[in-house]
Amino acid sequence: METVRPLNAAERTARARATGGQPITDFDQRIPYDAYVRTDVLHSLQRTVTDDPGEMSFLMITQVMELYFKLIAFELRGAQELLRADRVWEAISPLSRTALHLEGLNGSWRGLRWMTPADFNRFRDQLGEASGLQSGMYRQVEFLLGLKNPALLRPFKSRSAELRRAFDGPSVWDDAVAALARRGHDLPQELLVRDFSIEHEPHEAVERAWVEVYRDTSPGNDLRRLGEALTDVAEAFGEWRRQHVAAVRRSMGHKPGSGGSNGLAWLERSMARVVFPELWSARTHM
């Protein structure tokens, strides 16, 4: 892989003077932008299976979503590392970025609003059993957020050690609960040392802890800021699920899904599982 030669601020200033402020357009080798972004690889990945022009839109937006899933998983893992090191203030930054990335992800749905059932049917059969439910990167995001269902690991049993680690390990919510305990909040040991492959069950002790956190409105309360950053993530992720349901309803109604599910009904049931549950229930008592 070709690398991009680093430039410092002084070199950039000198180049701008030398060119009179005009962009450099002559390069002896590969264009640096292409070398950095790997545009040759990126733009070679769109391989449609039909001649229908709508399929290109469907495929590319799906690929954009996959890239966002990867970015969101990256940020969530970074937040986890900082929470485990009790660097709560620093963990807020990747969580805030996660919420913004989720906004970008959610905006992707707008590019599919043109798709009626007739539009989708023109190429849907050629997708075979391929389904968004089979996205390993999306499952990783769900597991990192604490939504764990062992049945959803089965398609990936021979593939992803990283996905398995996300499933078996603590979620972001587990790490936030552990941070509360380290700061002196009274939480039972069974919440802190447990089988993390089992989805977290809401607990009144966690709810009470967040109520106490929010009572302190001082600017230096990093746990309160953490709570708000987590709330932004959960809210944006909830919006992703809502828009997913809306897009399926618009493009295929109640038809069965390609991956074997009953489509819309399956998605609607999945929305009932709440991300960071005590952060929401605690608000009733604040």
pLDDT of residue 260: 58
Q: Which residues are annotated as a binding site?
A: 124, 244
Cα distance between residue 84 and residue 169, in whole Å: 12
pLDDT of residue 152: 82
CA angle 227, 230, 234 (to 5 degrees): 135
pLDDT of residue 25: 83
CB of 171 closer than 8 Å to CB of 143 = yes
pLDDT of residue 207: 98
- In the chain, the domains with their CATH numbers are 9-42 (no CATH), 55-285 (1.20.58.480)
pLDDT of residue 85: 97
- Written as one letter, the residue type at 163 is L
Instruction: List the chain residues with pLDDT less than 70.
Output: 1-2, 158-159, 257-263
Q: Which residues are annotated as a binding site for heme?
A: 244
pTM over 0.85: yes
Q: Which residues are annotated as a binding site for substrate?
A: 124
pLDDT of residue 129: 85
Cα distance between residue 37 and residue 51, in whole Å: 28
Alpha helices in 193-286 (DSSP H): 204-215, 222-252, 264-270, 277-281
**Which residue in the block uniquely carries the two structure tokens 């769109």?**
46
Q: How far is CA 209 from CA 21, 69, 136, 160, 192, in A?
A: 57, 31, 34, 35, 14
